[in-house]
Amino acid sequence: MTTDLTRVASKRRPLFLHTLAAAAALALAPSVVQAQVTLGPTLQSFGVLAGVAVTNTGPSLVAGNVGVSPGLAITGFPPGSATGTFEAGSANAAQAQTELTAAYNDAAATACNVDLTGVNLGGLTLTPGVY
């Protein structure tokens, strides 16, 4: 029994070309840049941080510190509670505000590379990024 090598090679060629085209498309496709904002170490300890006042209603539980700066008003605790400390106008809250401003400015400067204007977002799973 003899095998015609030309016939075998011609049957494999379309599969090879499809695989090569798929690999090239994946390699050349624009990737979504994952946006990551760095939160400062002081800011990371806050569950709630405000500039003027923090007002809580009901039996809320805040995971972390509750802070306000430059304002001084924190109300509604109790009935609410926090796992961290209450920082009203403290140096710690002021430092967290500085770190929050830096994180905001970093995020605001990130370019949007995926436009979802007019797209129905229902049922979509969005990966981290700027949309």
DSSP string, 51-78: SSEEE--SS-EESSEEEESS--EEE-TT
In a domain, 102, yes or no: yes
Predicted pLDDT of residue 16: 59
Instruction: Specify the range with the lowest mean pLDDT, choosing from 36-40, 90-94, 105-109.
Output: 36-40
In a domain, 83, yes or no: yes
Does the pLDDT of residue 92 top 80, yes or no? yes
Q: Are 48 and 66 in contact (CB under 8 A)?
A: yes
Number of domains in the chain: 1
The candidate with the shortest Cα–Cα distance to 128, out of 62, 1, 26, 36, is: 36
Q: Determine the distance from the C-alpha atom of residue 2 to the mean position of all C-alpha atoms in its chain, rounded to a whole number.
A: 61
In a domain, 13, yes or no: no
Residue 63, domain extent: 43-108
Has this prediction a pTM greater than 0.75? no
What is the distance between the alpha carbons of residues 109 and 105, in angstroms, rounded to a whole number?
6
In a domain, 99, yes or no: yes
In a domain, 57, yes or no: yes
In a domain, 67, yes or no: yes
In a domain, 19, yes or no: no
